[in-house]
Amino acid sequence: MTSGMKNYYATLGVSISATALEIKRAYRALAVKYHPDKNPDPKVVVLFKEINEAYDVLSDPQKKMFYDLRRENPLSDIIVEEPEPPRPRHRDPRYRGTGRTVRNEKSAGNRLHDLKAKYIRYMGWLCWLGVAVPALLFIDYYLPRQTKRELIVDGYMMGRPRNDRAHSFKYLVFTTESGKEIKLKNLDEIFLEVGETIEYTQTPIYSTLMTISDQNTTLEMGYIYEAIAFVPALLLAIAIMGIYIRQDIEFYFSACVASGVLLLVSLYLILSL
């Protein structure tokens, strides 16, 4: 070993064959003994610096290997390149020293996906209801209808007249003695008055009014089964697709949201018409 090289083993008081654990224990013992905060001797500042330097080399396997090579072969022609020192850590924790910025945080799309996955079990009920409500509506249409005869006890017009023409109201609403409301929009086809007895039929599940009759005329009702039937039909189609492709969380969640909106519209149409 050249006289110019420092003997780190001697500095720490360990042998060349010392293990990493023995080197660590020796360093701790010396650090406690010669730490400037615990030893007032001014000479320990330099000594403590040498102790730290020795431990920095001997505790790192790669640095220790190069140190031992230079120590044993000071005149060797072998040129050993020391490893490039690590780049200083960037202040931004997202920077990894690769020349680009890597985001640890999940992207907004991933966070939204995780949120959908978390609540999909609850949103899924909208799809199942989206199947049940319109399916019952269509089953209700084919079940035997209930026939009732009741007295009209009240009536009023809903809406505003247009151009002061007769029968220009949106609906004429009658209330029977059982409290059932009957909305008529085809005012030119049937004429009813308070105090008159009428006969009507309704479905057994949703109590949808299907026909209404006075002494002379029978009027077909069931407005929900006319042009607006496409709303519950669309609801049923979207809900079934959502349940069938429920492995795709993005599609399933979107189908559940659409089913929820169409479900509210369908229930409004079923209960109000």
Q: For 79-135, what is each residue's pLDDT tens digit?
A: 444 555 556 565 555 545 454 544 545 567 677 778 778 888 888 888 899 899 888
Is the pLDDT at 5 greater than 80, yes or no? Answer: no
Which token pair is 244? 């069938």
Domain boundary among 72, 95, 121: 72
Considering the domain architecture, whether residues 128 and 58 belong to the same structural domain is answered as no
The count of domains in the chain is: 3
Residue 242: the pLDDT is 87
Query: Same domain, yes or no, for 207 and 174?
Result: yes
What is the Cα gyration radius of the chain? 44
Q: 251 and 216 in one domain?
A: no
Mean pLDDT, rounded, of the chain:
77
- pLDDT over 70 at 168, yes or no: no
User: Residue 205 is part of which domain span?
Assistant: 143-222
The pTM of this model reads 0.48
Gap between the Cα atoms of 210 and 143, Å rounded: 12
Q: Which pLDDT tens digit goes with each residue over 213-232?
A: 877 778 777 777 765 678 88
